[in-house]
Structure 1
Amino acid sequence: AYGGPDILMKRDDLTGSALGGCEARQFSFSLGPAISEGYDYLVCAGDSQSNIARHTAAAAAELGLKAVVVIARDQHSYPTQGNLLINHLMDAKVRYVFPTTVESEKNKALEQLRIDGHKPYDMHADNAVLRSVAYVEGALELCEQLAARKISPQAIYTSSRLYTLIGLTVGLNAINASMGAVGINYWVEEDDAARERLVPVANECATLIGLDRTYTAADFEIYSEFAKPDFGE
């Protein structure tokens, strides 16, 4: 009705457990070592409506593991609803902490589990680069789908500030695709800082898949101008 280009959507909100989302695809790779190396707890941290917490709880339930979710006690902690409710329904151990102590309390939870004889997996650190590799595969999958439909887009846009954008960029580069990936940042920060933050993970991702390329900030297109401080509220 408004004219302009055709816009197609890749429905990664339908990718799997716990209402879908990018984490479902990412965890299909990053949790491989947790399974093969005998970890028994998945541990993550976030705000009360965290998507990664929701997916951590769901993944643990599906894999027969236990989950500890360290949650910031914020304005969305009560009543228990949304992602927070799913955490409880998935039988995760939910720990409420002050927002400024989320990271330190997560580390305490990891250490206590080790002391108690468990092998906890840090969802934010252990093999995190594999979350980008998952979207290298996602880029290849998308290109195959586009080719089958004889569609040649100018760009792929994603609401991402890290793993999804990195994986798409590296994947498209790996096959010399004609289009690039563009990130729409949901976090308030300077574009230059956002691009610099992507570089080390991108280079680790490229090395892991055998791509002979060194990334710099100039290789990424990401825009933060649309982000608002009240994201998620």
Structure 2
Amino acid sequence: MIPAELLPPRLHLASTPTPLQKMERLSRQAGVEIFFKRDDFTGSELSGNKIRKLEFLLADALAKGADTVITCGGAQSNHCRATALAAVKAGLSSLLLLRASDPANPPALSGNILLDRLAGSEIVWVTPEQYRARDEIFEREARRLRSEGRRPYIIPEGGSTALGAWGYVAAMEELAADLRRLDGGRVTPTTVICAAGSGGTTAGLALGARLSGAEIRVVGVNVCDDRDYFVAIIDGICRDFCRTWPTEVMDAVPPYEIVDGYVGRGYALSRTEELAAVRDLVRLEGVVLDPVYTGKAYFGMLAELERHPQRFGRRIVFIHTGGLFGLFPIAEQLAGLV
């Protein structure tokens, strides 16, 4: 149970609690129990995991008197779309730093980009090389906004900070309650699997698992970079969290695992076998994953289970972190599979 005095201020923007659903056919096929925590149900336009983090980050922005939030991501970033729409709900403007191979000719107005524009976001397009220096560009844009009399608040990539991690600390408390109801008051050993794209969700789940006291193992499947990169990011978030909100049980980085090897062609680039797994799940369970995050993580989970059926124990909870809008810009690539 999260001590009430620890919980930072938050806005209530997400439709929570989200349901925990057993994938009956998938479970029979895999030979283990597989549940999905449906965080794609956090909202329609706000669908996905990002809004849980933004409830805390936008509350902090308002407390600090901000009128504009600045954040960043890939061209079809779920985080940027969620930030743009959540900012509107909070009475804030938004500026999005989006990555594209040719900023002079940005991608078509589809998927998340269309929603960003509908929300009235200002978009600054940058190359992948420029994006590596995004902190400098954040500061440049913040200075420009301040020179115009505006009050910017910077949200790092994915909202993955110690404060943002509270979104999934709270989500793990919710999930532990789901599992206790399922198990009659106790929690059967469970492995929770999520996509790792910026590290904040995995960090929050690991911190929340420690606070819950339940026998819950946390596994992230990285969809970009590699294991060492994510260990450094997640450990850093957890250390910041423990320093800022110390408790008897939160005195060190909690355990978690990173399953590497499923980045495939690279971030936001899909292989045919990954998209086939997304298609097959729709036809098996009527559940739609996205190509960038959940699709890759799900493919990785299945591949690991195929090699080692008990790799994650007898019960898995897969965190469905949303991202449906990311399918529409790759309709042509999907056409051959449907």
TM-score (norm 2): 0.63
| Distance in structure 1 (CA, Å) of the matches to 2:229 and 2:30 | 35
Q: Within 5 A, what are the aligned runs for 1:4-83?
A: 4-16=31-43, 18-74=45-101, 77-83=106-112
Q: Secondary structure at the match of 2:34?
A: coil
Q: CA deviation at 1:220?
A: 2.6
Between stretches 122-131 and 18-27, larger displacement belongs to 122-131
Aligned residue identity for 2:210: N
Residues 1:163 and 2:192 aligned together? no
Which one of the candidate residues 108, 130, 138 is aligned to 2:171? 138
Encode CA deviations 1:43-98: one digit per residue, 9 max, x unaligned.
11222111121111111211121111122233793321111111001111112233
Change (3 A) 1:215 1:228: farther
Give me the whole-angstrom Cα distance separating, in 1, the residues matched to 2:173 and 2:244.
16
Unaligned runs of 5+ in 1: none
1:58-207 alignment to 2 at 5 Å?
A: 58-74=85-101, 77-102=106-131, 103=134, 104-124=136-156, 128-150=161-183, 152-161=188-197, 162-189=199-226, 191-207=227-243
For residues 55 and 13 of structure 1, what CA distance do their matches in structure 2 show? 12
Compute the displacement of 1:17 (Å). 5.3
How much is the aligned-residue C-alpha RMSD, in angstroms?
A: 2.3
Give the 4+ runs in structure 1 shifted more than 4 A. Answer: none
Q: Which has the higher contact order (CA 8 A, sep 6+)?
A: 2
SS in 1 for 2:76: coil
- Which sits farther off after the overlay, 206-215 or 17-26? 206-215
State how many pairs are aligned.
231
Q: Is the 8 A contact 2:74 2:99 kept in 1?
A: yes
CA deviation string 1:82-133 (max 9, x = no partner): 1111100111111223332231433321110112221101011899311111
Q: Is the 8 A contact 1:188 1:224 kept in 2?
A: no
String of CA shifts for 1:171-210, please: whole Å, max 9, x gaps. 1111221121111111131x23422332121022233343
What TM-score, normalized by structure 1, do the two folds share?
0.89
1:159/1:185 contact within 8 Å kept: yes
SS of the counterpart of 1:211? coil
Q: Kindly tell me: are residues 72 and 3 of structure 1, through their superposed partners in 2, closer, same or farther at Cα, counting changes over 3 Å?
A: closer
**Quick one: which amino acid aligns to residue 107 of structure 2?**
Y
SS across alignment from 2:214: coil
Q: 1:3 to 1:40 in 2, by over 3 A?
A: closer
What amino acid sits opposite 2:138 in the alignment?
A: K
Identity %: 25
SS at match of 2:54: helix
Q: Distance in 1 between matches of 2:153 and 2:107?
A: 28
